[in-house]
Amino acid sequence: MAVTIQDRTELSATIRAYLELTKTRIVLLLLFTTIVTMVIAAKGVPPLAILLPTLIGGTLAPAGAGAINQYLDRDLDAKMARTARRPIPSGRVSPQNALLYGLTLITGGVLILGVWVNWLAAGLALAGALYYVVLYTLLLKRNTALNIVIGGGAGAIPVLVGWAAVTGTLNIEAWLLFAIVFYWTPPHSWALAILVNTDYARAGVPMMPVARGLPTTYRQILLYSVLLLLISLSPALVVGGSLGIIYALSALILGLGLIWMAIRLMRISTKAMARTAYKYSTFYLAFLFLAMLVDIAL
């Protein structure tokens, strides 16, 4: 039977819907941090026999967690303008299929890491998925304004996966990279929360701007930006570590930029400024890890 244009169109739409379930942009950023961490741990490009399965498994596990997150949050997503067009509330993917899809991705990712890399990396990937699904989505998100502060660990675990994949262990450098992503998450997420404050209030989600108000959120963003600057400099200070002056200068400049954005947000309390701060925070993490690559290469 010939495949019609309509069949191809429907197939393409289905593929796009399932990709949306995985929160692809977030996964790609996490994957980049994983790759950089592997290069640092290996002090160069790791063997392809380790790199490729780590990238595959390290993509599937958080992608599956993202799909299950959307399954669990489907009632909230339907109430918010920003998320109402997601695959489940829009009816493009059934809740049951989304749940099965997420579980399959996590299982596949963990097994790939365990069989072809090592079981420490696999266990960390599973821990990251459970952290995001159970601790953040089920326990924290709807119940406390500290949801992002504690839940940020989920996005930081991929760097541990990358380090463990190369070395089979975790050391101080791995945990410092973990801390960078952990402390980056609150200012990044709160800037977004300011942009969609009305949505979160309508859905009853106690994000910081809803639960504590904008002035408190601005102060918290500034506080975490200062802490992040200090923590981001620490990998260059580790005796015998892999990162040096190029990374340290980049971390200083990028960190001061993030602090300046936080100060401007306090002074210019507008959605436009919050959007600028949110975009900068995204570029901040990408360029900080890119600076690590450049430092290692040179």
If asked whether residues 164 and 178 sit together in one domain, one would say no
Is residue 3 assigned to a domain?
Answer: no
Same domain, 154 and 107: yes
Residue 11 in any domain: the answer is no
Helices (H), 92-171: 95-116, 119-130, 147-151, 153-167
- At which of 149, 170, 191 does a domain end? 170
In-domain check, residue 4: no
| Residue 5 pLDDT exceeds 70 | no
Domain membership of residue 204 (yes or no) is yes
pLDDT in tens, 49-64: 999 999 999 999 999 9
Residue 84 lies inside a defined structural domain of this protein: yes
pLDDT in tens, 143-173: 999 999 998 899 999 999 999 999 999 999 9
Report the alpha-carbon distance of residue 248 to residue 37 in Å, rounded: 16
Domain of 150 in residue numbering reads as: 18-170
Q: Are residues 88 and 125 in the same domain?
A: yes
Tokens at 15, concatenated: 């593929």
CB 132 within 8 Å of CB 69:
yes
Q: 205 and 88 in one domain?
A: no
Mean pLDDT of 255-269: 96
Q: What are the residue ranges of helices labelled H in 43-93?
A: 48-72, 74-79
Last residue of one domain, picked from the residues 120, 141, 170: 170
186-231 tens-digit pLDDT: 999 999 999 999 989 988 899 999 999 999 999 999 999 999 999 9
What's residue 9's pLDDT? 78
Q: Give yes or no for residue 272 having a pLDDT over 90.
A: yes
Question: Is a pLDDT exceeding 60 seen at residue 3?
Answer: no
Residues 205 and 163 in one domain: no
157 and 190 in one domain?
Answer: no
Q: 111 and 216: one domain?
A: no
Residue 12: per-residue pLDDT: 87
Domain final residue, candidates 132, 149, 170: 170
Q: Are residues 94 and 184 in the same domain?
A: no
Percentage of residues of the chain with pLDDT beyond 70: 97
Per-residue CA distances from 16 to 9, 67, 87, 90, 93 (Å): 11, 13, 9, 13, 11
Do 165 and 240 lie in one domain? The reply is no
Domain count, the chain: 2
Residue pair 31/158 in contact by the 8 Å Cβ criterion: yes
Domain-embedded: residue 10: no
What are 195-199's contacts with CB under 8 Å, separation 24+?
195/271, 195/274, 195/275, 195/278, 196/80, 196/81, 196/82, 199/79, 199/80, 199/81, 199/82, 199/83
Residue of 75, 91, 27, 82 lying closest to 55 (CA atoms): 27
- Residues 153, 258: one domain? no
- Token readout for 213 is 């108000």
Residue 178 has pLDDT above 70, yes or no: yes
Asked whether residue 13 is domain-assigned, the answer is no
Model confidence pLDDT, tens digit, residues 77-127: 999 988 999 999 999 999 999 999 999 999 999 999 999 999 999 999 999
Same domain, 218 and 286: yes
Return the CATH number at 87. Answer: 1.10.357.140
On whether residue 271 sits in a domain, the answer given is yes
Whether residues 120 and 157 share a domain: the answer is yes
